[in-house]
Amino acid sequence: MGLQIITGDLSVNKKRVIIEKLLHILETNPNATIYYIVPDHLKFDMETFVLNTIEEVKGQEEAAMMSLQVVSFTRLAWFMIRPQSPNKQSISDVGLTMIIRQLLSELKDDLIVLRGQINHQGFIDKLLSLFTELIEGNITPEDLSRITTDTHIDVSDMSEDIPNLEQQKIVEIQLIYTKFIERIELLEVSQYSTLEQLEAYIKSEGQLTDLYAIIDHYYYFNAQQMSLLMQLSATFSDVWLTLPITHSLANSQTFQPILDTIRYTYHQVKALAQFNQIKVLPDWDIKRPFHTIGTDLLTTAKLFKDIQEIGMSIEDEKTKYLSPPIEIWQADTIQTELRHVSNQIHYLVATEGYRYQDIVVMTRDFDRYQVIAKPYFDANDIPIFVDNVAKMNQHPFVLLLESLLNLKLYNWKYDDVMGFLKSGLIIPEFLKDTPLDQQEQIKDREVNYFENIILANGYFGYRLIKPNFIWRFEDEAKLVQNGDWTQHSTLKELSEKWRQWLISDVSQVFKVWESPMTGQKAGAWLYQLMLDLGVRDQFVKQRDTSIDTGEVESSRRDEQVWQVFVDLLDEFNEIYQDQTISYSLFVELLIAGLSESSYHIIPATLDQVTLTSVESPQVQPFKIAFYIGMDDKTLPLNRPTSSLLDEASRELLQKDLLPHQYLMKLNEQQYSQELLLAYQLLLNASERIYFSYATSVNNQSMQLSPYISQIVQYLKLPTYIFTHDLVSELEHLHSSTFGKYSMEQNLLLQLSHYLTQDEGLLNDLHKQVFLVMNDYDGVEKQTRQSIEAIVEAVAKFNELPSNIDPKIAIQLFGKDIHASVSKIEQYFQDPFSHFLLHGLKIKERKLFELDYARSGDYFHDFLDSFTRLLIDKKLDLRQIDMSNLNQLFNQVKGKLEQDERFNIMFSHAKFNAIKTQMDEQLFRFIKFSQAQQKRTKMTSIQSEAVFGISPSPDQLKGFIYPLNSGGQLSISGKIDRVDIAKTSNDTFLQIVDYKSGKKEFNVVDTYYGLDLQVLTYLSVALSNYPDTKAFGAFYQPLIHSYTAFKEASMPDTFEAMEELQLSENIFNGFVSVDEEQLTYIDSSIEVTNNSLVYPVKFKKGGLYNTFSRVFTEEELDILLKFVHMKFKQAANQIQSGVIELKPFRENQYTTSLQPEYRVISGFDSTENYQAYREKTINKKNIIQEMLLELDESGEDEENDE
């Protein structure tokens, strides 16, 4: 009976010697059982190592492993005392946080300092961490009282009403801790008492002469573990404790910061054993054999240890001939770093004969590397096992559960609805009869349609789940394919199918929460809901699919997540039982629990690269070790102390602790552990080590770890510098420069781009790369792009689109083209933008928002309805008084408020306020129009006059043009207003087009096809009213700008104010009558000698001045014919496949230049500046230029029907 410490440096392979001794014990004592105790996360690796060693030594493994068990402390308890304690239960950390949350709620009125934090999960986690440390250190609530009674608390500033906050905080922590201990004892929670129970059981059994224990990879112990170690030593036949320190150093007074923690543990164990009168055998100091680590690596590790002890005075002789196989890599980004690591592993396996299992990649910052590492390893077909505890918070089941439970919590928000519907774990009942291999595809397609509908119409919240809210939306009659791919249904039918399922099968299940719910009922409700929704069945299907496709890790993750969910519900039931719980707290606890839970995956195959943490101890060295992210922020890692007990409080607590109590010295241990970790890194590889880091991470500058820098400085190791510029790297080739074909496509792209530059001349090295890559991985070239294709693609990358095959163009746009004027204008503005929008029909999803288009529709529809009301009632706006004007206005407003297109204006207070402002603006505009019409003889005869859409008697006839393809172009549109005025001899006609923004008629734009609208409308109106003459065509802004006045210049009468407003908001367009005819129709000219309505001014003699916008009858005829020619020109070019990317430089709102489309167009103003078009035509000669083009084209007649 007794305890023996096994000493020996980390470089010594102590495990081999130990296992040989254990096998000898089993040979001499057939009844012996040996427990090899290691931390939980090392159990699998240690079992593998023991099996391999037994097989090497004995040639067999089965019989030996039956009596030699690799266990953790908790697993040892399961082996020995599980049958004796059936009533004890283990509760996860999540369950423990539930208990703490319960206690905080109960103690809320007793808390002062901590009351404001009781609902914060971070605070609860800190409490749990502190309580765990105190319990494992055998520290009772009564021990905490010593902190508050000690003299370090300055009470001089205390009064009867104001307590010292730090003292009060400790008092409150003590109170919560006391209640926590009582509650876990009441619930018979096992994990805090497991080791105590094991210790008591062993003690009660007396001398266990056939039991042996070896404890490995524990560098320090908490109080419970230490007490158990003492009991094992007193009861078992023999107990060994291995520590990574030599006997001489353990008993030396030499300053060794690396070994401080270990040396403290060594003396603490011996002192406590002597205190408990346990026999302590002399140290078993193992000096041989060393791990199969290269001599230079061993020497380098010793050098690092000496540097920490001696400082910076190492003799040069010790390093003069030292050349360890260590490389230092500096990368500009973590992407560059990972590319070289992946390439180097590929090189080592493909060229130097290593196996993947010989290689480990270790990092300190898994969050930084884990997500992006796999694609780089996949590119070189490197199998990788990620040995890290990963959170479950991004697992599809957790995301589904969060979305589902949030539906009730946040009133069916869009994100939650779509998160639920898009989950692969949900298949509605109405899709379960469809073929299994089509279910997900059909569901995804229909959900996408459904999403578009609810996005465009704002069908969230009560609009989604209230059956009495009727859905009406644009395109509801549009046909889409049904789930079985053979029939069609309308969008209305599809949306109703999904909506009714959400109402009946999903929303109704939440009604049970309208009555009080206990914890037990809540857990049962959610579990049954998962079964009813088919989530469990989908889990099983998903797991089986993963197994069939060889994705074993994925299948194990699914199993673990479901088991964690079930265990969590069990704990919830146990903790809350008959206690009433709110829905919000239930959701918060459940989601927090699942999100904080972790995967624990055993590697699916042995021959794979391991990606693990540098803090994870290794059972034996790998041959090759890559340490990534080794910068000054991660080694050493500065962990801020997060304990609720500050350092002063911890010191006061520690000084009076009894031998069986223990509290960690955080700062001292952290420094020692960081140095020990760096020392271990140098011994984790037997043949080669690579240290790498990125100089820039998240816009933060990084430097090499100071620990690694010490080695670099002493050994004068070179640093290899890698950048994302692959071409420049070719000047300094490294074995990590090249990977497999797929990895190097990026290099080929850069080289090919280099070719396209003026200065890009390939040298011999570049040519060699192409030749090598052309032969490299030839098998893969059947499925991957050839070098020729890559070079061709890059050479054409900066080429802007110009045309497509005419046959394809006709397939896209049709032999017969039906277009609005704005579509033709858009083509002339930029053919490629027209191709994107009307050829490929690319468009962003409609959103439920009050945007410019929807507000513009409201303005136009309101004015159309108002004008039609005047026409139907045969009312003259000029004669209507204010009372009747208000009545008519409110009548139209009431009508539009019933229009479902404008429901959005009543969906939110913000939108309703905007509508109120729009109505006010419309009323001001109508009063402005009244003042305007009082000064003219024009009368409206048409409002929103539709033309060219269908052969209806209610519509105006449009224009149809024959095309070169044999098809035809039909122009359609809608004229906002058509007015006429009669003189003694003629009837004149004008058209008005309302604009919610600023729009000016520009004849230069007409020449380039950019402003054809009002001319087309005028031409349509004249052709439908052949007995009229053209008076003019105008844009009229609906929103007028404000005018600033100084007080002295303010108009002093209403009439003067009205005239000023009219003069600043005249029609924008042109007139086509002479001065006499205009003066007859516009009465404002007689009063002011200038028009307050039309864009003209007069000279003293009564003639138009040069700034007046006037076209003669002959000029207007040319303009109208030119417009017809532009229509035919555009349509013929469209069908010929002309899709040039040619935007006008001054128009920055061109579709292909906008961010959402630029990723397609590839337009870069710095490289494609020459593609911009300029308007170079001289305005003075524009009519003559139009006439010349008409003569050249032979287009001297209108084409109409």
- Going 462 to 464 to 468 to 473, the CA torsion angle's sign is positive
Is there a contact between 67 and 33 (Cβ–Cβ < 8 Å)?
yes
Q: Is residue 502 over pLDDT 70?
A: yes
Segment 522-533 shows an average pLDDT of 90
pLDDT tens digit sequence for 922-966: 998 899 888 888 889 999 998 889 998 777 777 899 999 999 999
Q: Are 169 and 643 in contact (CB under 8 A)?
A: no
Give me the residue spans of the domains in the chain. Answer: 3-88+193-290, 93-186, 296-389+604-720, 396-596, 740-795
- Is residue 975 a contact partner of residue 1123, using CB atoms and an 8 Å limit? no
**Overall average pLDDT of the 63-89 stretch:** 71
| pLDDT reading at 214 higher than 90 | yes
List Cβ neighbours of 710 (8 Å cut-off, separation of 6 or more): 304, 307
Whether the Cβ atoms of residue 1110 and residue 1096 lie closer than 8 Å to each other: yes
CATH fold group of domain 3-88+193-290: Rossmann fold (3.40.50)
Question: Angle at the Cα of 129 (from 125 to 133), degrees rounded to 5?
Answer: 170
Given a contact cutoff of 8 angstroms between Cβ atoms, the answer to whether 152 and 652 are in contact is yes
Residue 66: predicted pLDDT:
66
Q: Quote the CA–CA distance of 732 and 720 in Å, as a whole number.
A: 9
* Architecture in CATH of 296-389+604-720: 3-Layer(aba) Sandwich (3.40)
DSSP 192-254: TTHHHHHHHHHHHH--EEEEEEEE-S-SS--HHHHHHHHHHHHHEEEEEEE-SS-HHHHT--S
Evaluate if residue 87 carries a pLDDT over 80. Answer: no
Least confident of 290-294, 767-771, 814-818: 767-771
Mean pLDDT on 108-119: 86
pLDDT tens for each residue of 834-848: 999 999 888 877 777
The answer to whether residue 1018 scores a pLDDT higher than 90 is yes
What's the pTM?
0.73
Q: What is the pLDDT of residues 844-885, one digit of tens each?
A: 777 777 777 778 888 888 888 898 888 888 888 888 989 999
Question: Does pLDDT of 481 surpass 70?
Answer: no
pLDDT, averaged across the chain: 83
Residue 154: pLDDT band by 50, 70, 90 thresholds? very low
Which residues fall within 8 angstroms of residue 684, CB to CB, at 6 or more apart? 360, 362, 618, 621, 622, 625
C-alpha 361/C-alpha 350 separation (Å) is 18
Averaged over 518-533, what is the pLDDT? 89
CB distance 865 to 896 below 8 Å: yes
Over residues 487-505, the mean pLDDT reads 88
pLDDT tens string 956-981:
999 999 999 999 999 999 999 999 99
State how far the Cα of 1140 lies from the Cα of 834, in Å rounded to an integer: 10
CA dihedral sign of residues 1094, 1096, 1097, 1099 = negative
pLDDT digits (tens, 9 = 90+) for 426-439: 888 888 777 777 78
Q: Would 3-88+193-290 and 296-389+604-720 be classified into the same CATH topology? A: yes
> What is the predicted pLDDT for the residue at 896?
87
- At residue 766, the pLDDT reads 58
Q: Which of 565, 528, 704, 689 is nearest to 629 (CA)?
A: 704
* Distance in angstroms (rounded) separating the CA atoms of residues 331 and 630: 11
Decide: helix, strand or coil at residue 639. coil
Q: Does 593 or 695 have the greater pLDDT score? A: 695
Residue 240: burial class (beta carbons within 10 Å; 0-12, 13-18, 19+)? buried
| Mean pLDDT for the stretch of residues 1057-1083 | 89
